[in-house]
Amino acid sequence: MPMGNIAFNAAATAGISIDRHNGRWVREPNIDSCMNGLDVDLFDEIERGRTWREDICEGAVVLRGHALAIETELLNAIEGVIAQAPLRHMTTPGGFRMSVAMTSCGRYGWVTDRSGYRYDTLDPDSGKPWPQMPGLLSSLAREAALAADFSGFAPNSCLINCYEPGARMSLHQDKDEQDFQQPIVSVSLGIPAVFQFGGDRREDKAARIPLQHGDVVVWGGVARLRYHGVLALKPATHPLLGARRINLTFRKAS
Ligand code: SIN
Ligand code: FE2
C-alpha cells in the first residue's frame, strides 16, 4: 500500500520550533558525574553540541545526534526520493507483508518478494532505475562512517524504511551485500525506536539501544554480520515527522 502524501514536508513545517531538550536529552550519559565540577557555561556548550559517541562493542557505535544539524535538508531530500519512488510494503519470501514501508535510492535498491531478498538496479513498481542518492545523504553516510573509524565508505544503496507505531523489524543479518568489508550506516529520524543489537547467532542475547531523532548507528568490521532488529514502535509524535520513524540504511551493495 503506498503511503500517499507523507506529511513531513520540512518546508511546510519550518515554522515549528523543535524543543531539542525535550526531544533529545533523555539519555545524557553520566549526567550526574559530568555535572560535578562543570561550570554552567561549559555545560551549555556541551548541550549545544548535542552529539556524542557511544561504543556498543568492537566495530559498532552510536553517534548520538549526529544528523540533527541537517535534519531539514535531510527530510527535504528524502521527500524528493519518495516522490519519485513511493514507499511500499513489500512481501517476504514467505508471503508476509512487511510492517515497515520501504523504498530506496542509489544505484541499488533492496527488494523482497516471493522469489527472495535481493538488490536490484530497477524499482520493481515502476520498472525504472531508483532515484539518485542525493549528495547530502551520501556525504552524511561517508562522514558518519569516518566518525566511527571506517574510512572510505562509498555507499551505492540507501534503503529508506518508514515505521508507524506497531511496525517492527525482526532480528536479521544484513548479508545480501557482496562486500562485508564495508560498514553499514543507519540514520534514525522521527519518533523513537528501540534498536536490538545481538551477536553473530540469532539466539545470542541482543542489547536494547533506544534511538532518537538524529542518532546514527554504524557497524562494520568484526561486527558487520551481527544480528539486529527494531522492536515494535510505541505510539508517539514527532514535530517534523508526525507518528513516523524514518530510517536510512546505507550500504555498499556490490
Ligand atoms: C534495518 O536493519 O534495515 C533497519 C534498522 C532500523 O530501522 O533502525
Ligand atoms: Fe538490517
pLDDT, tens digit, 9 for 90 and up, residues 92-131: 999 999 999 999 999 999 999 999 999 999 999 999 999 9
Q: Which ligand is nearest to the CA of 195?
A: 1
Entry pTM: 0.84
CA atoms lying within 13 Å on the CB side of residue 55: 5
- Compute the distance between CA of residue 150 and CA of residue 59 in angstroms, rounded to an integer: 9
Q: What is the CATH number of the domain that holds 75?
A: 2.60.120.590
DSSP state of 28: -
Whether ligand 1 lies within 6 angstroms of the CB of 249 is answered as yes
- Name the residue range of residue 10's domain: 3-251
Q: Which residues are CB-neighbours of 249 under 8 A, at least 6 positions away?
A: 158, 159, 161, 174, 184, 185, 186, 187
For residue 130, give Cα distances in angstroms to 82, 104, 126, 133, 167.
10, 6, 9, 9, 24
Residue 196 pLDDT level (bands cut at 50, 70, 90): very high
The tens digit of pLDDT for each residue in 202-219 reads 999 999 999 999 999 999
248 lines ligand 1 (CB under 6 A): no
Q: What is the pLDDT of residue 49?
A: 58
> How many structural domains is the chain composed of?
1
